[in-house]
């Protein structure tokens, strides 16, 4: 009597696999309607050598079309999975743009995770878009968009760390410098 050989293939094999670029573009298309056009989103792709990198950007048209990248997804040109996803949202104690000092200087960066499959990639993108970092960023940019440019001009740090009370109360001269 012959032994039954089990099915050794992974359970997550599927035939409707989408590349990361398509998944990101679908998310980019949704944001404008969710924010009534106050914010937009776009995917930018760069290619070099054997790698492609896509970035999902948030755009505030009312703030001089200010753009900020929420995440990047990098993969080999001929193999779209695995894909490395980087985002500030992955940092354990998120401080946007702050120095991330690696004690050893080696190993993958703290703001990077890898997805082996479409489902894992979707989970990572969801994690980023649902993060406090991204949600705060979206709300802040919407609020600033309502404020408009005139209030943008008051945004500076003065000597004591507080917003400057009357930033234009000095004579700048013809050069625009103090």
Partner 1 sequence: MESAGVFPNRRIALTMTTFLFWNLMGNSDTTWANREDSLRDHIVHMAVSFGVDVFVFAESRFTPATLVGALNKAKVGRYCYPRSLNARLQIFTRFKKSAIVEQYDSEDGHLTIRRLTTPTTEIILAAVHFQSQMNWTPGDQALQATVVQQNILQTENDVGHQRTILIGDLNMNPFDPGLVGAQALHAVMTRDTARAETRTVAMRNYPLFYNPMWGYFGDRTPGPPGTYYYSASAPVSYFWNMFDQVLLRPALMDTLHDVRILESDGQVSLLTSDGHPRTSEASDHLPLLVELNV
Residue 37 to residue 84: CA distance in whole angstroms = 30
Q: Least distance (Å) from partner 1 to the CB of residue 33?
A: 22
Distance of CA 164 to the CA centre of its chain: 30
The residue (of 11 and 156) whose beta carbon lies closer to partner 1 is: 156
Among 8, 11, 159, 165, binds partner 1 (CB under 8 A): 159
How do beta strands 79-86 and 66-76 pair?
antiparallel
The residue (of 25 and 74) whose beta carbon lies closer to partner 1 is: 74
Whole-Å CA distances, 127 to 86, 120, 132, 135: 12, 10, 10, 11
The residue (of 119 and 152) whose beta carbon lies closer to partner 1 is: 152
Residue 64 to residue 130: CA distance in whole angstroms = 26
132 binds partner 1 (CB under 8 A): no
Among 62, 70, 129, 138, binds partner 1 (CB under 8 A): 70
The residue (of 6 and 49) whose beta carbon lies closer to partner 1 is: 49
Residue 102 to residue 23: CA distance in whole angstroms = 31
Tell me the window of 3-11, 15-23, 84-92, 114-122 that interacts with partner 1 (CB under 8 A): 84-92
Q: DSSP strand E in 61-149: where?
A: 66-76, 79-86, 112-115
Residue 118 to residue 82: CA distance in whole angstroms = 9
Site track for partner 1 across 89-128, x = CB under 8 A: ------xxxxx-xx--xx--x-x-----------------
Interface residues toward partner 1, by CB under 8 A: 44-51, 53, 55, 63-72, 74, 86-88, 95-99, 101-102, 105-106, 109, 111, 137, 152-161, 164, 167-168, 170, 172, 174-178
């Amino acid at each position: 009597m012959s032994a039954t050989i089990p099915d050794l293939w992974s359970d997550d094999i599927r035939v409707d696999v989408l590349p990361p670029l398509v998944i990101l573009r679908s998310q980019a298309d949704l944001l404008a309607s969710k924010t009534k056009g106050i914010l937009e989103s776009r995917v930018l792709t760069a290619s070099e050598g054997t790698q492609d990198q896509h970035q999902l950007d948030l755009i505030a048209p009312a703030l001089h079309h200010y753009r900020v990248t929420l995440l990047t997804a990098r993969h080999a040109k001929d193999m779209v999975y695995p894909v490395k996803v980087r985002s500030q949202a992955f940092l354990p104690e998120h401080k946007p743009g702050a120095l991330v000092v690696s004690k050893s200087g080696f190993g993958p960066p703290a703001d990077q995770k890898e997805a082996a499959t479409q489902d894992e990639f979707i989970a990572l993108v969801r994690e980023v878009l649902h993060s406090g970092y991204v949600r705060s960023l979206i709300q802040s940019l919407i609020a600033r968009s309502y404020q408009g440019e005139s209030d943008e001009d008051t945004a500076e740090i003065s000597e004591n760390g507080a917003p400057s009370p009357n930033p234009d109360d000095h004579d700048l001269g013809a050069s625009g410098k103090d």
